[in-house]
Amino acid sequence: MSDNPSDKVQIRIKENGSIRVKGTVEIINADGNVIETKSDFSLCRCGLSKEKPFCDGSHKDKFVAAEGLGK
């Protein structure tokens, strides 16, 4: 793993929203295959997105996270 700050990935849980990923990561399916390499994107955590695992904004005004889970 690199110690270069520009290579680091940051994951932020947005209040009552998506999981924001900043940096470049490989998306790997259940079989262990890389299906995509992606940079700076949001993951769905409400279950409403039609673009899962990515967020499409469907959570707006419809999703409230459980207490202690990043609101």
- Residue 65 DSSP label: P
Residue 34 domain flag? yes
Residue 69 domain flag? no
- Our count of domains for the chain comes to 1
Instruction: Give the domain range for residue 18.
Output: 1-58
Residue 25's alpha-carbon distances to 7, 15, 70, in angstroms, are: 10, 23, 22
Residue 40 domain flag? yes
CB–CB of 20/14 below 8 Å?
yes
Residue 64 domain flag? no
Which pLDDT score, from 0 to 100, does residue 63 have? 76
Q: Identify the residue whose tokens are 């290579």.
A: 7
One digit per residue, the tens of pLDDT, for the chain of length 71 reads 556 666 899 999 988 889 999 999 999 999 999 999 999 999 999 889 999 999 998 888 777 776 665 55
